[in-house]
Structure 1
Amino acid sequence: MRLRSAVALTLLAACAFTPVAPVGAVEGPARKVPVVGEDKRIGGLSGLAVLDGGARFVAVSDRGALVEGTFLRDGSALREARVTRVTELRGTTGGRLDGNKVETDAEGLAITRDGALNISFEYVHRVAKYRDPSRALPYPALLRGLGMEDNGGLEALAVDSRDRLVAVPETGPRGTDLPVLRFEDGQWRKIGLLHPSDGFAPVGADFGPDGRLYLLERAVGAFGFRSRIRRLDFRETGGVFDTAVIWQSGTGLGNLEGLSIWSDSDGAVHATMVADDNFSALLYGGMVTLTLAKSAGTM
């Protein structure tokens, strides 16, 4: 999501760092991991997947690019995300996407068992499957009546343990709970509701090894961006999901959007996020990573 008005308020505030305030389910502080590369298309990163136990990553840009790379590490700690390839995402016919944000605004990323990249887009709200970046395979149309704003669509996209896509919109009709959607039997289905709170909106999601959905949320204010991770008790009640905030930040970590939950070779579970810098040198555009505590029930 590109927040033009919000960026105007937060460019200066983003340079100041407010310490992260763990809610009780993380080990140690959040750590910044810079994204390094020479390609001018690197920026505006929104969706993220950390792969192979923290060896490499895939991300999507809100200008319609697939960004791939590897991590440099100090022991088990991520030190740097080094971009090795940037590829333009194409449309359903193999042609170029409209570059005026109408079609290129890729936000959410989830990888299914077949290795395909599933990407959600804003403005023209849709989800597409990419077996390679050269051609999009569209999913059926989303449910009607979601009431999403142009730049407030399905930023939170994840794959559950049964290889089904789950999505949560960033916005909906004012004053209502947000639907949690799942794709199964060839169609999108509403399986429950999420109650927004404290000015935070969903911008990223991933399932943990515990089978629960971890939801990255963002709040925007005059002093910058704040982020938190909520964990959903993923029982199919059809009602409002029970949630718990497991981590919350102050300002200074950037406009965090994508979230990836992954395990390293020692079995430690990490939550890594990526910041959308809106292609501005004044905003942080790297990653932020946390180690989740065993007491959080993630093991």
Structure 2
Amino acid sequence: MGAERRLSAGSFALAAAFLSTFWFAAPVAAGAPELLSDAQPVKARTRSIDTFRIGLADTTFGKLTFLGGLELIAADRKVGGLSGLISLDGGSAFLAVTDNGHWVSGRIVQTADGKPTEIEDLRFAPLLGADGKTLDARWGHDTEALTLSGSGLYVTAETRNDIYRYPWPISTGKERMIGEVALPQDIRDLPRNTGLEALAAGPEDSPLAGKLVAVAESAPSDLHDLSGFIIGPDGTERFTIRRYERFDATDAAFLPGGDMILVERRFSLRDLIGLRLRRFKGADIAAGAVLEGELLLEADFNSQIDNMEALGIHTNENGETILTLVSDNNRSILQRTLFLRFRLED
């Protein structure tokens, strides 16, 4: 990839001042804005996934109830590689980001209880830098996660270990990057292929309000655990998440009550494929903390999973909390793009 961009002392101070003007805003409500209206539509079809455990009809997995899922088969490979997700309009719409620098939006047809039955109006467009060039042209396109805050839309770029800020909504797909978050050197120095992977906006009415919480994909070479960062206008604080059995972090999102869900993925010839969801109390995410979390779900090749990378959370009309998990197929014919829905029962 291209050389990593470094902020000079002057530009760092300017970026910090710029961000402090906008940062103190709560996450915005996940409504139903128009998305990617000028973007290219994509033909796609879906296959229904009715059971989570292969060959078993169980729907209850601890505190999670499986509602159903879809395999998305798109006609354009640029729609593959989905790595970050925001659920909108009560789960009937989404905006995603791919790991090669594209926005993807769509509508989800769903039953009253939230089971997805179809994906419609699928569109994609390249992310643009502040200069109007695509992130692909700027070598900054390894985009892995996104989160929505009152100050805009934030997107991580793993290889550059950067966080980009975009306006909200992405109405046409031609919106340009507003700026880049000023980050400390230890974040910039994370391994290029296992850097900033998970990103979530701090919830309203909590000590994390107006801040971003980021988690590195894997452990640095001299540590076993995962590095977490609380990034705000006054600087960056650090915490640690215990890492077990070679699972890596791939995405994070906050629940309505303020707790954080972390998606973890294991994907190698040695371990085959695995998914893990852990829940962390929002009050425990603080400077210097070492977090264990509550295990909500663990799955392997006996379940309908793939390279699970993205998490969206929304509340439905009944006040129920719904989790949408999406896989990154790496644009490979050997993998699948999955949309899986679970209801959190507490």
Amino acid in structure 2 at the alignment position of 1:124: R
The answer to which of 79-88 and 142-151 deviates more is 142-151
Q: Is the 8 A contact 2:228 2:241 kept in 1?
A: yes
Q: Is 1:125 the equivalent of 2:177?
A: no
The secondary structure found in structure 2 opposite 1:155 is strand
Q: Is the 8 A contact 1:36 1:82 kept in 2?
A: no
Cα distance, 1:142 vs structure 2: 4.0
CA distance in 1, matches of 2:127, 2:294: 36
Amino acid in structure 2 at the alignment position of 1:79: T
| Higher RCO (CA 8 Å, separation ≥ 6 residues) | 1
Q: Give the aligned partner of residue 220 of structure 1.
A: 267
Cα distance, 1:126 vs structure 2: 0.4
Q: Give the aligned partner of residue 152 of structure 1.
A: 194
Q: Is the 8 A contact 1:148 1:170 kept in 2?
A: no
* Correspondence for 1:263 among 298, 305, 315: 315
Q: Give the aligned partner of residue 28 of structure 2.
A: none
Q: Is 1:135 the equivalent of 2:165?
A: no
Q: Is the 8 A contact 2:153 2:165 kept in 1?
A: yes
* Correspondence for 1:75 among 102, 108, 112: 112
Q: Give the aligned partner of residue 248 of structure 1.
A: 298
CA distance in 1, matches of 2:94, 2:338: 13
Amino acid in structure 1 at the alignment position of 2:195: G
* Correspondence for 1:113 among 146, 150, 155: 150
Q: Give the aligned partner of residue 178 of structure 1.
A: 226
Change (3 A) 1:212 1:52: same
CA distance in 2, matches of 1:211, 1:53: 18
Note the residue ranges of structure 1 that are not aligned, 5 or more in a row. Answer: 1-15, 295-299
Q: Is the 8 A contact 1:126 1:142 kept in 2?
A: no
Q: Is the 8 A contact 2:100 2:136 kept in 1?
A: no
Greater radius of gyration (CA): 2
Amino acid in structure 1 at the alignment position of 2:166: Y
The answer to which of 140-149 and 275-284 deviates more is 140-149
* Correspondence for 2:130 among 92, 98, 116: 92
Cα distance, 1:250 vs structure 2: 1.7
Q: Is the 8 A contact 1:231 1:246 kept in 2?
A: yes
Amino acid in structure 2 at the alignment position of 1:257: E
Q: Is the 8 A contact 1:21 1:248 kept in 2?
A: no
CA distance in 2, matches of 1:241, 1:128: 27
* Correspondence for 2:82 among 22, 30, 45: 45
The secondary structure found in structure 1 opposite 2:62 is coil
CA distance in 2, matches of 1:113, 1:283: 35
CA distance in 1, matches of 2:163, 2:55: 35
The answer to which of 238-247 and 54-63 deviates more is 238-247
Change (3 A) 1:279 1:173: same
Q: Is the 8 A contact 2:161 2:187 kept in 1?
A: no
Change (3 A) 1:30 1:195: farther
CA distance in 2, matches of 1:52, 1:215: 22
The secondary structure found in structure 2 opposite 1:53 is helix
CA distance in 1, matches of 2:272, 2:340: 16
Q: Is the 8 A contact 1:259 1:273 kept in 2?
A: yes
Q: Is the 8 A contact 1:22 1:246 kept in 2?
A: no
Change (3 A) 1:237 1:126: closer
The within-5 A match list for 1:279-294 is 279-294=331-346
Q: What RMSD, in angstroms, separates the aligned Cα atoms of the two structures?
A: 2.4
The secondary structure found in structure 1 opposite 2:90 is coil
CA distance in 2, matches of 1:151, 1:198: 19
Q: Is the 8 A contact 1:147 1:173 kept in 2?
A: no
The answer to which of 140-149 and 219-228 deviates more is 140-149
Cα distance, 1:40 vs structure 2: 4.0
Cα distance, 1:84 vs structure 2: 3.2
Amino acid in structure 2 at the alignment position of 1:31: G
Identity %: 27
CA distance in 1, matches of 2:146, 2:214: 10
Normalising by structure 2, we get a TM-score of 0.73
